[in-house]
Amino acid sequence: MLLDIYSFSTLTASINKDLHAAMTPWLAVATELVLIGLLFLTFYALLGLFLVYLERKVCAVMQNRIGPNRVGKWGVFQTIADLIKLVTKELIPIKNADSFLFNLAPFIVIIASFMAMAALPFAKGLQAIDFNIGIFYIIAVSSLGVVGILIAGWSSNSKYSLIGAMRSGAQVVSYELSVGLSLLAIVVLSGSMQLSTIVESQANGWWIFKGHIPALIAFVIYLIASTAEINRGPFDLAEAESELTAGFHTEYSGIKFAFFFLAEYINMFIVAAIAATLFFGGWMPFHIDHWEAFNRVMDYIPSIVWFFGKTFIIIYLIMWFKWTFPRLRIDQLLNLEWKYLLPLSLMNIVIVSFVVLMGWYF
């Protein structure tokens, strides 16, 4: 199969074999874990810098202006300059704050996004860990981020931070229901919670097309609910500048603020990657059943290009939301979930189950 020429399985198996040949088994496993950790740290940092730059340019285009254009050609080093500024800024101690929890909160947010990213299949044979309950695992660990937000708001000894944290808690807990139910629609269609199996089930067509209208409804619900879950506009009530200054991270400065800032963008990448994986085939090329010649042409495009191409298109949609729609009020935000999205998600699950039972999908 032509897909195998771009598979990372041979490379990773070769590295594993060489390490086990040169070291004791436990040392080889430890070395592999360190290498994977370093790769993820590097990818995490570079991806965050790129997404901040991308959003500034997308925002500039939508507002008919230039965007960053001073530091480096086309302003590509602007985010690096901002990072240096944040890293070198003084960490201001907050009077009467709970210092232990105050310092712990940014790390909880960062660790939650790291854990979620570990299960993503970036390309054929390129996945840190492939759980048989991958969807369940991602939903579970991504939910931990709100714990860090609540701790940050409570420990800051600031009413603005506390209100922002409580808003975020209510928002994330509410919209997680619709996110989970929309993902469950694809689990029902594919018959598996393992991400690699879900990707392979789309070899003859992506679920967004094979699943008919219920899959399309699930994708739209997921896109709206996941945008709210990561506190992106127009659902950024947790950090509404006009009301709460900067929300739950008002009292943070320097590298601790950078952790919250970076985690928001990495979470945006994660929700876009999950959507690309479940609804649009992940790293799987665009195939049409029985169109062998067309499918062979599509197979020439590397799997990693397919994955990141789909993911960044969805990221662009999320950015488009933010710079197009005005921010909702908190009552409108919760009404949207509890009165509209959640009942629609529940009805959609029933329809998907009936479609699968009757075998009406491709």
pLDDT tens-place string over residues 275-322:
999 999 888 888 887 788 888 888 888 889 999 999 999 999 999 988
Phi then psi dihedrals of residue 156, to 5 deg: -80, -10
- What's this model's pTM, rounded to 2 decimal places? 0.90
Asked if pLDDT for residue 323 goes beyond 80, the answer is yes
pLDDT, mean over the chain? 86
Residue 351 lies in a domain: yes
User: Residue 188: which pLDDT band, with cuts at 50, 70 and 90?
Assistant: very high
Give the type of residue at 321.
F
Residue 206 lies in a domain: yes
Residue 18 lies in a domain: no
- What CA–CA distance (Å, rounded) separates 259 from 106? 6
Asked if pLDDT for residue 347 goes beyond 90, the answer is yes
The whole-number pLDDT of residue 361 equals 64
The whole-number pLDDT of residue 262 equals 87
- Asked which of 11-20, 208-217, 240-249, 271-280 is least confident by mean pLDDT, the reply is 240-249
- Asked which of 37-51, 167-181, 289-303 is least confident by mean pLDDT, the reply is 289-303
User: Residue 221: which pLDDT band, with cuts at 50, 70 and 90?
Assistant: very high
The average pLDDT across 260-270 equals 90
pLDDT for 111-145, tens place per residue?
998 899 989 999 888 888 888 888 999 999 988 88
User: Residue 198: which pLDDT band, with cuts at 50, 70 and 90?
Assistant: very high
Residue 9 lies in a domain: no
Residue 203 lies in a domain: yes
For 199, the domain range is 93-358
Residue 279 lies in a domain: yes
- What CA–CA distance (Å, rounded) separates 103 from 100? 5
CB 160 within 8 A of CB 249: no
% of the chain at pLDDT higher than 90: 29
- 120-129 per-residue burial string, b: 16 or more CB within 10 A, e: under 16: bbbbbbbbee
End-to-end Cα, the chain, rounded Å: 22
Residue 17 lies in a domain: no
pLDDT for 101-114, tens place per residue?
988 999 999 999 88
User: Residue 182: which pLDDT band, with cuts at 50, 70 and 90?
Assistant: very high
The average pLDDT across 3-21 equals 79
Number of domains in the chain: 1
Half-sphere exposure of 93 (CA within 13 A, CB side): 5
The whole-number pLDDT of residue 245 equals 61
210, with CB counted inside 10 A (0-12, 13-18, 19+), is middle
Asked if pLDDT for residue 232 goes beyond 60, the answer is yes
The whole-number pLDDT of residue 240 equals 60
